[in-house]
Structure formats: structure tokens, C-alpha cells
Chains A and B, each alone.
Chain A
Amino acid sequence: MCVTQILDFCEVVKVQFGSDESMQYLFYLLLCLILIVLQTTILPNSFGSLRFYDLIIPVAIYFSLYRPFREGFPVLLLAALAMDMISGAPAGIYLTTYIWLFLAFRQTWRFFDVKHSYFYPVLVVIGVLFQLLIFWVVISIHAGHVVFTEDGIRLVFFQVFLVVITAPFIFPFLQMFFGAADRLFPGRAIDNG
């Protein structure tokens, strides 16, 4: 019901103001905004001291594997800046994660056939581990010694477990979302990388 209303709203806005191209970017940014709000309001209150994994990572990987560079890069750049500014983390940490994941996976699928949906949860696990690795390195540099805590290890296992459970459902959702974007704003040829 709500999704239909949003799609109707996008259709009206598109007719009134925008080109397909700009509307598509707005559509993607809307998705990122929803995910950022979700993971800064509801999700942090759901698992005590543990946290859900970063929901932008599955989107970054999807952009990397299945969408053109000119679509994914600017959207992820803005999402990363928003995350950097809204969180208490050192500036640039999310930017590093998203952009490097995006670029790395774009190169990977040229050599390995990882575009099949079966691989998607594995890739998200790699993405989440990559982000945790970056966080760990930054924290250790800041602390001046290698930070190794029991809570940290528990968090890693917890997030990997969540990815394994949820990623198979996220993939069809993203397929549906990007399919809807292509149908709503068809003015732009999508070459899928």
C-alpha cells in the first residue's frame, strides 16, 4: 500500500518536474535515506549492545555488480557522506568502505562469475567483514595498540549470522526495487555494467 503510494508520488513528480535520469537518482537516494533512518532509529534499539550490519553494504554490492558505474558511484558517494556525518565515526570511514567495495566488486566480476544470485550472500558477508576490518584498523590506529575485545568478536559473528539469514531476502527485494526504477523511469538505457 505504502510502496504503491510512493511509486504514484514518484510518477507525479516525474511528470511535473524531472527527467527520467534525475528521478532515478532521487529514487535511489530515497532508498538510501530509508535505510540510513532505519539503521539509526529502529535497529540500534533492537539488539542491545550488538548492532545490525550496515544495510548500505548490500546496496553497494548490488550497484557494483548489476548497475552501471554512473548510477552507483554518485549515489554511494552521497550515502557514504551522509553516514559519515550522521555517525560519531571518524570522517571518511563509510566513504572508504562503500567506495572500495563498489570498485573492488566491479573488478572482481570481470574475472570471476560472481553475478549469480547464489553468490550474493557470500559477497555481502565479505562486504560486512571488510567494513569491520576497516573499523578495527581505524580504532587500533587511534588507540595506539591492537584493540581485541570479546564484544568485538561477538559482534563479528552476530553480524555474519544476520547476513546469512537476511541477504537471500534482500537480493530479490533489490531486484524488485531496481526493476521498479527501470519501469518507472525508462528514459535511460540501462547497460548493467
Chain B
Amino acid sequence: MFSRKTMVIAGLVLIVVVNGIVFSYNYMRKSSFYPAAVETALFFIGPFQEGVSRSTGFAEKVWTRYFSLVSTAKENEVLRRKLAETEYTVHMYREEMMLNARMASFFEFSGDVAYETVVADVVGRDPSAWFQSLVINKGKAHGVRIGQPVMVPEGIVGQVIGVSGRYAKVLLIIDRNNAVDALVQRTRARGIVRGLSSNVCHFEFALHKADITTGDIVITSGFDGVYPKGLRVGRVSQIIRRSAGIFQDIEITPFVDFSRLEEVIVILNPPVIDIMDD
């Protein structure tokens, strides 16, 4: 009925259309298809990733533990000296904390909220350098849900964007698709931390008049409804103040070394901010 050429052209047009529809799913991640597809992929691939990661991790540990003992003795001496110094610092901090507690009770301040957390191993990484994500070995069965923040003691890591029974996909803060509402700890100047898919992030929308200097620490503001307030994000590493424009061009180096992440902490009960209340 139709010639071969017509069929080929019709087929190509169909593929272009289907391709466009699939691409548009990127902007419809709230659809029911995307989470289900991610869940299926993690269900099948996650266990293999975990197996390989554990094997390579074990081999790496054997190497570092048994073959680098030569430098350990020297390192031990340095660490002992540092420990003594740290013990003194901890003592001073403890004193400060006790003073803080007394002051808090004086003002009937409620203090920090204790977060329910779960520790997860990193079992997979994004295959492309252009996008930054991780696969961790905790999922729905452990209470992990889409949108929960992920961190390490050094600072925030990212947020959960896909979850299966035993695995979850985490979008890192250095990914271009991620944004974190943040503020400068010293001056409380607000802005948005946006990833650049490299080892640095941009601090956007910080007003030209805001007092920000190199070395300032940037923390989460808590207003994005994902990350609790006060978590460390990074340090201001470069500022370019242009004569035109109302915002500063600021670069941040995150505290977290994303290339060396092995374990992360997922916050299971992050504070929920109802924007409508404001």
C-alpha cells in the first residue's frame, strides 16, 4: 500500500515525536511513569552495583590497610599531637556549650530538633561527567522517600530524586539541576546555591550591596523546604563584582569532597515549611 520510502519517513517522524514526548518527561518528573521507571531500574541494577562496589571497596581497603603501613607510624605521631590539641579545643567548646545551654534555658529556647536519620553506602555513580548523581543502598524499606535531604558530617550532599525498595537515587548539589536556598553565615545574606556539574557551585541572587567576602561560610537557610536550616554548604572561593547588574557573581567550593563519598546520611524527617503560612 505504502512505498518503502514513505514507511521510512513515517517511521522517522514517529521516532522524532516519541523522542520529543520522552524528553518532555524531564519536565514532568511528578508524573507516575518516571518514579515507577526509576524504581524498576534501581530494582534490577542496584544489587549488581552494590556487589561490585563492595568488592572494589574491599580490595581498596586491603590495599590501604596492609600496604600503606609504612607511613602509618609517622602519621600516628602527628595525629597524637593533633589529638592533644583537639582535646583542649573540645574542652573549650564543652564549656561554651554549657554556657549556651544555661542561656537557652534562661530564655526558654527549645533548641535543636533531633532528626531521624539513616546511614547509607554509595553503591553507584552517574556514568556521565555532565550530570551528578549517586545510587545509595537504602530505599523505601528503610524509610527513604523522594525529596529527603542527604548529607555527611562535612555538609549537605543533595536530595533523593528516585527510590525503590532497597535503593535510592540522589541528585548532588553540584548538579546543574539542583538548587539550594542558602545564606552567608556571617552576614545572613541570602541567595541560591546552584550546581555547575564541577567541583564548585554558583551562589546566585546575592545582592550587590550584600557584605560577602572570600572565605565566608555558606549554610542552608531552610526556606526551600528540603534542607533543614543551618547545615554547611561550602565556602566562598571567588567573588566578581560587576559594575552593572544588581547581583554579585559568587563561586562556592562545597565542603564535601564528592569524588570520595562512600557513606551518606539521609534525613528521614526534615522540617516541613508551609509557604502558604507566610
Interface residues of A (CB under 8 A from B): 33, 36-45, 48-51, 54, 81-93, 95-96, 99, 103, 135-136, 139, 142-143, 149, 151-152, 155
Q: Is the CB of A81 within 8 A of B37?
A: yes
Contact A149-B135, Cβ < 8 Å, known A82-B44, A135-B128: no
Please give the distance in Å from A132's CB to the nearest CB on chain B.
8
Taken residue by residue from 159 to 203, chain B's Cβ proximity to chain A (1 for < 8 Å, 0 otherwise) reads as 001100000010110011100000000000000000011110000
Whether the Cβ atoms of B131 and A87 lie closer than 8 Å is yes
- The CA-CA distance from A33 to B51 in the complex, in Å, is 13
- Which of A54, A95, A99 interacts with B128 by CB under 8 Å? A54
The chain A residue with its CB closest to the CB of B20 is A92
A41 and B53 CA atoms in complex are apart in Å by: 6
* CB-contact partner of A51 in B38, B127, B196, under 8 A: B127
Q: Does B40 contact A (CB under 8 A)?
A: yes
User: B148 in the interface, Cβ–Cβ < 8 Å?
Assistant: no
Q: Which chain B residue lies CB-closest to A107? A: B8
Can you name 11 A-B pairs with beta carbons within 8 Å?
Answer: A45-B56, A51-B127, A87-B133, A91-B25, A91-B29, A91-B34, A93-B23, A96-B19, A103-B12, A135-B128, A152-B130
Nearest CB of B to A193, in Å: 15
Given contacts A37-B48, A92-B22, 12 further A-B contacts (CB under 8 A): A33-B48, A37-B52, A39-B127, A41-B124, A49-B259, A85-B41, A88-B133, A88-B169, A88-B172, A88-B175, A89-B130, A142-B177
Question: What number of B residues sit within 8 Å (CB to CB) of A?
Answer: 46
Closest to A158 in B: B129
**Majority secondary structure, B binding face:** mixed
- Cα separation A183 to B132 with both chains bound (whole Å): 41
Assess the B26–A92 pair: CB atoms within 8 A: yes
CA distance A70 to B38 in the complex (A): 26
- Complex Cα spacing A84 to B127, Å: 10
Task: Give the docked Cα–Cα distance between A44 and B259 (Å).
Answer: 9
Does A40 lie within 8 Å of B25, measured CB to CB? no
Q: Which of A48, A84, A91, A93 contacts B259 (CB 8 A)?
A: A48
Asked if B52 and A42 sit within 8 Å, CB to CB, the answer is yes
Q: Which of B31-76 contact A (CB under 8 A)?
A: 34, 37-38, 40-42, 44-45, 48-49, 52-53, 56
State the main secondary structure of chain A at its contact with B: helix
In this complex, what residue of A is CB-closest to B19?
A: A96
- B129: A residues at CB distance < 8 A: 49-51, 151, 155
5 closest Cβ pairs, A-B complex: A88-B133, A85-B41, A90-B26, A92-B22, A44-B125
Bound form: Cα–Cα A135–B125 in Å: 17
Least Cβ–Cβ distance between A187 and chain B, in angstroms: 26
B272 interface hit (Cβ, 8 Å)? no
Complex Cα–Cα for A149 and B19 (A): 28
Considering the complex, give the chain B residue whose CB is closest to the CB of A142: B176
B123 in the interface (beta carbon within 8 A): yes
Determine the chain A residues whose CB is within 8 A of the CB of B133 once the complex forms. Answer: 87-88
Q: Give the distance to chain A from B225, nearest Cβ to Cβ, in Å.
A: 20
Question: When the two chains form their complex, are residues A33 and B45 in contact, meaning their CB atoms are under 8 A apart?
Answer: yes
Residues of B within 8 A of A91 (CB): 22-23, 25-26, 29, 34, 37
Tell me whether B19 and A41 are in contact (CB under 8 A): no
Expressed in whole angstroms, the minimum distance between the Cβ of A178 and any Cβ of chain B is 22
Q: How far is the CA of A49 from the CA of B260 in the complex (A)?
A: 11
Q: Which chain A residues border B19 with CB–CB below 8 Å?
A: 92, 95-96, 99
Among A33, A40, A49, which residue has its beta carbon within 8 angstroms of that of B127?
A40
Minimum distance in angstroms from B275 CB to a CB of chain A: 25
